[in-house]
Amino acid sequence: MSSTVTPQRLTGREWAVLFVLCGAIFLEGIDVSMMGVAMPSIRAELGLSTGELQWIVSGYALSYGGFVLLGGRAADLLGRRRMFVGWLMVFLVFSGLGGFATEGWVLILARFATGVAAAFMTPAGLSIITTSYPEGPQRNKALLVYAGTAAGGFSLGMVTGGLLTAIDWRWVFFAPVIVAVLVLAGALALIPRDEPASTERPGFDVAGALALTGAMLLLVATVVRAPDVSPGPTVLTAVAGVVLLAIFVRIERRASAPLIRLGLLRNTALLRANVGAILLVGSFVGFQFVAVLYLRELRGWSELETGLALMVIGIDAVLAPTLTPWLVSRFGNGRVVFGGFVVAVLAYAAFLPLGVGWKYAAMLPAFLLLGLAFALAYGPLTIAATERVADDEQGLASGVLTTSFQFGSALGLAVVAATLTAAGQLTIGAFRNGLLVPFGAAALGVLVAVAGLRIPDRERLHAKG
């Protein structure tokens, strides 16, 4: 009966809280994408080698991927608002520190600390949404707006990064500070205080947290560094990561208050959503890497021209909160995810015939299709990964999803980079080989989505209340 009286529209205050949380995920999205555009200018001024330069991105990815599950659990146990506000402050401080860096090691350290802050801030923000809005139309609407903002921030960050770098690359670090101050003010004023988990529970599973964080750091490091190191260290870090994961599982089975309830990982819908998240983001980041190198290195386009060319992918920021909720309500979550992956396959296929003299009009269909694909799949995957999870595990579920997005990003980038490196020179043939990676990942995503269609579609019932 309660579902029939739950209002489907958000109140003014609920929209205000959502906008604050969207501001944080937008901040995280533009922070990542602006950095890629600014890298050549950073290298020129600080005199960084290629190996040092990649750590500006890799350091962030390692710390983010390594600490995000711990961050999700901390939100559940210590209070979501407290974690969100506190780590947003840390994000603000170290982003600003990066802008003042005059040495490469200072910038790399700042990026590592910023990644740790994002690892605690992001799952806390997402779990505030999933615990503040009732499951069904309200939560779906909130999550789709949130996901669209995240995707839009990532897309628009490339253009913003080009504009700011044209002034001074340091503004790529200073601009997020301005946004973070505004978000922080809104969070302090609007997000209600929440009670931490009952003190009767014996706090953190420290041994499990250390084992899991170490395993995630090693596994993400394996993926990030794979294109640049010999097979020996790659295998060594991978094996060490797997061993630590096995130790973690053993610890969790014996712990009185485990970091992760292992039964949660038997939720096939959650696992399927996270595999889909890895494939979606991995294919997207891999494609973006190929497209940027094609436009910058082969075509000689400027940073700003490249950012403007890719800006149309940001159509997902408009479609995700408008078209996607209607489609989810009409056809169900599973079918919309399936459609998103099908459109992604078409997008990558449309870019495969790329040539040396390709006009922008020939590239545009691929970019538009990719924006549509992201709008269709990203938000519904977020819904699928967090629904039917208990409130006291929402932070954990959000952390698992964020890990999947981050790991997928690192994996897609590493595999595409390795494919391009194996070609020796950046020729049209090399770029086409690189494009086969996102194409294949999206095709696998279609298969994963098809498996989800075999499950009775209860999402539509939730959507209709």
Taking only the tens of pLDDT, the chain with its 465 residues reads 344 444 567 777 888 888 999 888 888 888 877 876 777 788 788 887 655 676 787 778 778 877 887 888 888 888 889 999 999 999 999 989 988 988 888 998 999 899 899 989 988 998 888 888 877 777 878 888 887 788 777 777 777 887 888 788 899 899 889 989 999 999 999 888 876 655 455 466 778 878 887 887 788 778 777 777 788 888 999 999 999 989 988 988 887 777 777 777 777 888 899 999 999 988 988 898 888 888 877 888 887 788 788 888 878 878 877 888 889 888 888 899 999 999 999 999 999 999 888 899 999 999 999 999 988 998 888 888 877 777 777 777 877 887 788 778 878 877 888 788 777 788 899 899 999 999 999 999 999 999 877 655 444 434 333
Q: Rounded CA gap, 349 and 347, in Å?
A: 5
For residue 51, what pLDDT is reported? 57
**Residue from 274, 286, 215 nearest 405 by CA:** 274
Per the structure, the count of domains in the chain is 2
Q: Are 258 and 252 in contact (CB under 8 A)?
A: yes
What residues contact 407, with CB distance under 8 A and at least 6 apart?
Answer: 65, 219, 220, 223, 278
For residue 373, what pLDDT is reported? 94
16 and 110 part of one domain:
yes
323 and 428 part of one domain:
yes
270 and 155 part of one domain:
no
Q: Are 338 and 453 in contact (CB under 8 A)?
A: yes
149 and 275 part of one domain:
no
55 and 162 part of one domain:
yes
For residue 457, what pLDDT is reported? 46
| CATH code (residue 170) | 1.20.1250.20
Of 192, 219, 245, the residue that ends a domain is: 192
For residue 203, what pLDDT is reported? 61
39 and 182 part of one domain:
yes
Any domain includes 368: yes
Q: Are 274 and 400 in contact (CB under 8 A)?
A: yes
Of 144, 172, 192, the residue that ends a domain is: 192
Of 167, 192, 217, the residue that ends a domain is: 192
149 and 17 part of one domain:
yes
Any domain includes 246: no
- For residue 404, give both structure tokens: 């999947």
Amino acid found at 143: L
What pTM did the predictor assign?
A: 0.79
For 101, the domain range is: 12-192
